[in-house]
Amino acid sequence: MTDEQRIVITGIGLASPNGENLEAFRKSLLAGVSGVTTMETRFMGEVLAGLCRFDEFKYQTKKDRRRGTRAGSIAIYCAAQALDRAGVDLDSVDRSRVGVFAGITEHGTVETENEIDLIRQFDYDTSYWSHHHNPRTVANNPAGEVSIRLDIRGPHYTIGAACAAGNAGLIQGAQMLRLDEVDIALGGGVSEATGSFGIFASFASEHALATHADPTKASRPFDKDRNGIVVSEGGGLFVLERLSEARKRGAPIVCELVGYAMNSDASDPVVPNPDRLEECMRLALKRAGIEPADVGIVSTHATATELGDIQEARALRRVFGECSHTYVNNTKSFIGHAMGAAGVLELAGNLGSLEDRVVHATINLDAPDPRCEVRNLVMNEARSVDRVDYILNNSFGMLGTNSAVIVKRYTG
């Protein structure tokens, strides 16, 4: 590819349950620090959750926050942080050539539940319904709040791709750059899932909501004692640029995005299809021009559900079973499932490995499920390796949407 076609990541902004920036997040992962805790939620009492603790008012006013949403607040925080880390001065660029592409799993549920709870206190008198409800609940809200708050005038929209949405946001940003629709793309994903009792209740009714006496041990992908998902909130937005433009402005280049793929199971609403998962990973590898053995780390999607973990492990064995120097890990074991932000946070947590050659562990793997056996699964303690040139990041979602993104250590 020419430098105009090559896509690089130059800035990362994130909010996670165990870190409010990339350095803090990476430090927690390497130290084995979980971000899962407990919270009270409507009608269900105490539940396990991954909650972000960042300064909502660092980049927006209290009035902005009252009018907007938690997802929008997370997105603004991540976008401003990413632009700052990439050295992008919006006053020095064409704002109409900057785009925002935020993946989401769900949006509007939290605000609707809140309004219904409010009018319930007034005998369901709809005159108490907020006039902010419509702009809060439209699907493009998180990306739109970023656009308004930061005065970004290029295209903005969200990509609804269930729990593959974080990867989908990155892919959309890369595609818009290659189409020359934008010069700078903010791509990634956000989620305010912990604000909705309905999300917790639905997973509970599916017998897929994690329980554990110790919250930090509740998220247990690949472990035979896993009993479900820990619902989390979070966000991650990356600054993506064409390599030619990044070089012109002397941008700090974190890595290069070299391959990606999305496909559909076309089979079951909730049970992954290992054949399609395998095809998705192989297509991403083909587009990156590499072999499975070239991959240093596979960041898994596994959510700690019975069949989900098993089906992904099957696909991984087919693609990477003969790769002696490919290591496998899982970030959800630390932070739970951040839904639309999951994929991008999981990729962000592994990017440090391109430089320090340390693979963060999958924690809470006390009794590995033999049905989930995967070669070189890094368990409970971080592992130093000889080199990491490529990372493949898996992210799958309900209704059978699958994604894989591959990044490369930048060497010029």
Catalogue the active-site residues: 163, 301, 337
Q: Is 219 helix (H, G, I), strand (E, B) or coil?
A: coil
348, 357, 253, 271: which is closest to 9 by C-alpha? 253
Whether the Cβ atoms of residue 268 and residue 374 lie closer than 8 Å to each other: no
Whether the Cβ atoms of residue 262 and residue 245 lie closer than 8 Å to each other: no
CA dist 244 and 397 (Å) reads: 34
Helices (H), 121-237: 133-137, 141-150, 165-178, 197-205
Q: Supply 411's token pair.
A: 């060497």
Residue 214 DSSP symbol: S
CB neighbours of 62 closer than 8 A, spacing ≥ 6? none
Q: What is the torsion angle, in degrees rounded to the nearest 10, for the CA atoms of residue 264, residue 139, residue 407 and residue 174?
A: 100
Q: Does residue 261 come out as left (phi exceeding 0), alpha (psi in the -120 to 50 range) or beta? A: beta
**Residues making up the chain, counted from first to last:** 412
What one-letter code names the amino acid at 348? Answer: A
Compute the chain's Rg from CA coordinates.
20
